[in-house]
Every structure is written in C-alpha cells, then in structure tokens.
Structure 1
Amino acid sequence: MKIHIIGGAGSGKSYISALLSQKLNIPHHDLDDIFWDNQAEVYGVKAPEEQRDQKLRGIVSQDSWIIEGVYRSWVDPSFSVADKIIVLMTPLSVQEERIWARYEERISGVVTSKKRETLEGVRNLLEWNKEYNLKKLSHFVENYENKEKIITVSSNLDIIELFVN
C-alpha cells in the first residue's frame, strides 16, 4: 500500500503517519526530512532540489510507504503512484494550538528537535498555514486530476477507521 498524507502544519500528519506505519507495518517518511537542510546552522534552509528529488524517487520506488507533508508542487512522483492521497483538513484552530504547543515544547527542551525555530518563524508559519489551509489545500482537492485517489478527512480518527478497522 502507498499512502500520501497531506495537510497543514499541526494537522496531525506526523502522528497519524507513525501510527499507521506501526499498525500496517509500512515505513513512513516525513517530507520535511528531505525538503529542509537539517544540518544548516540556521532554521529554514532548504536542501538542494536535486538531492531532495533523488530522495523522494528512492522512497516512491519502494513497494509500500506512507509519505506525509504539506508539499504539493514537487511531490508529483508520490501522488502519481500513491494508492490513496489523504487530505487532512483538521480545523485551523486546532492546528494553531498544536503549532504553539510544539514550539513551546521545543523551546523549553521538553521535546528534542533538529529544528531551531524562532518566535518570528512560528508567527510566519501561522500566517502561511492559514493561507495554505484556506486556499492552497482546497484548490488542490478541487483540481487534482485523480480525484478517485483523494480521501478528505477532518481528524486522525477518520484515517484509523479507514485503514485499520
């Protein structure tokens, strides 16, 4: 099975991908790990496109996978071979609470992270995420050519019911 999960920041993509990976015994991959240069000295440096695209091609060539991320423009290789594309439309207010909670956990050291976020970065993420959810994600759902692959859900529980029960 090949599952691509797309949704805004704080929508629950990482959580549900890890859970589905465990339940279905399928490897999962976070697109942030190949999009961003996590070795950079500062937060927010993108990985070289060729390196990123090569890693994505390697993932999608596997027999089964779960890929999760917010990305749309460069992940066509994943969308084209995915059996299902799950669009996670968690309410924006829930996403914003999660973004703030995650930031606070990382800054306080409660959760270790390779991401070095700043307060300004989180504020920018909140603005970007609003635009992404209200315009870009709905545009993707409305205009994607293989609509039979798309499943739109508003919570992680919906995904569990689809694939595990």
Structure 2
Amino acid sequence: MKIRIIGYAGSGKTSLTLSLQEKYLIQGISLDDFLKIKDKNQRMTSLNARLETLDAWIVEGVQVSPWTNKSFHDADLIVVLDYPLYITQFRVVKRTCSQVFDKNRDLNQKKKAIKRMFKLFKWNNKFRKRLPRIKGNLYHQNSKVMILESPQSERRLHQHIKKQQRVEKQKRPK
C-alpha cells in the first residue's frame, strides 16, 4: 500500500507515519529529508528514485509542489490531516517549548527554534487558505482521499489500511 500524508505543521504527520510504519511494517519517508537538496529537479529525481525502490511506502510532508507530484499520483490513499488550527498551533508551541527548555541546546539553537515557531504559524495560516484548493485538486487524483478532522478520526484510517491489506493478501497467488 502506498500512502501520502499531508497536513498543517504540527498536525502529527510524522507521529502518524511512525505509528503506521511500526504497526503495518510499511517504509516511511519524510519529505523534509529531501529539502536538503536545493536543486528542485535533483530533489524530485532523488525522491522518485526512492519511491521506485519500494512496493509500499508512507510519504509524509507539508509539501504540495511539482517535485512531490509522483507521491500523490502513485498513492493508493491520500490522507489529509485537517485538524483545527488551534490544535496544530498548540503543538507547534509545545514542540518549540521542548526545544527551548532542552538543556543540551545552546542559546543560538533556542533562538532558531523560536524563529521557526513564528514561521510555522505564518505557514499554517497560508496553508489554511490554500487547503480548499489543495483538497479540490486531490480529488482529481486516481487515489482515494481520506480527510481526518481530529486525532480521534485516525481510527478510520486504521480500518481502511487493515481492509486493504486483507484484499491484497487475498489477491496474492498461493
């Protein structure tokens, strides 16, 4: 199964991916890891080459850009974490506080964490405005789209994955 997860910064994409990866033994891929590659064509080539090596994957990231198109196109399921903005902003603050109060971080790292928090606040507000258009475009994909509006609705995602795994298992030749 190939799953693409998008959502606000702080919506829990990484946590959800790690949970799914462990429970269903599907390789997780964070798009943030590819941001180190500055050239967007090389970034796209690198991501697509990685996806081609796997029969099943979970790709998570906020990026909805040309370099991530294949992850949407090839996905069997696209999961949109559309949680209320106050939840995601709270999680961003919580993450920042854990970084600021980390005794192993120096003052410069703590300042960067605070600056990043405000950038993520702005990013989330922009994403909220773009999200209706993004959702509309996702329905033009060949994939099933599942919109989760609260952490409690993740149960639907687990039910869907289990059902798909049963179907795939039945399709395999014996």
TM-score (norm 1): 0.82
Q: 1:102-113 to 2 correspondence within 5 Å?
A: 102-109=95-102
Figure out how many residues of one structure are paired with residues of the other and give that number: 152
Deviation larger for 138-147 or 75-84: 138-147
The Cα RMSD (Å) is 2.2
Q: Distance in 2 between matches of 1:16 and 1:111?
A: 27
Task: Identify the residue that residue 75 of structure 1 maps to in structure 2.
Answer: 68
| Alignment-mate amino acid for residue 26 of structure 2 | I
Contact 1:4 1:84 in 2 (8 A): yes
Secondary structure of 1:122's partner? helix
Task: Identify the residue that residue 172 of structure 2 maps to in structure 1.
Answer: none
Task: Identify the residue that residue 134 of structure 2 maps to in structure 1.
Answer: 140
| Alignment-mate amino acid for residue 96 of structure 1 | Q
Secondary structure of 2:83's partner? coil
Task: Identify the residue that residue 100 of structure 1 maps to in structure 2.
Answer: 93
Contact 1:85 1:149 in 2 (8 A): yes
Q: Distance in 2 between matches of 1:148 and 1:12?
A: 21
Distance 1:156 1:55, change over 3 A: farther
Q: CA deviation at 1:155?
A: 2.6
Relative to its length, the structure with more helix (as a share) is 2
| Alignment-mate amino acid for residue 30 of structure 1 | S
Match of 1:122 among 85, 101, 117: 117
Query: Which of structure 1's runs of 4+ aligned residues deviate more than 6 A?
Result: none
Q: CA deviation at 1:111?
A: 8.9
Task: Identify the residue that residue 56 of structure 1 maps to in structure 2.
Answer: 47
What percentage of residue pairs aligned between the two structures are identical? 32
Contact 2:8 2:88 in 1 (8 A): yes
Note the residue ranges of structure 1 that are not aligned, 5 or more in a row: 38-45
Matched, 1:153 2:145: no
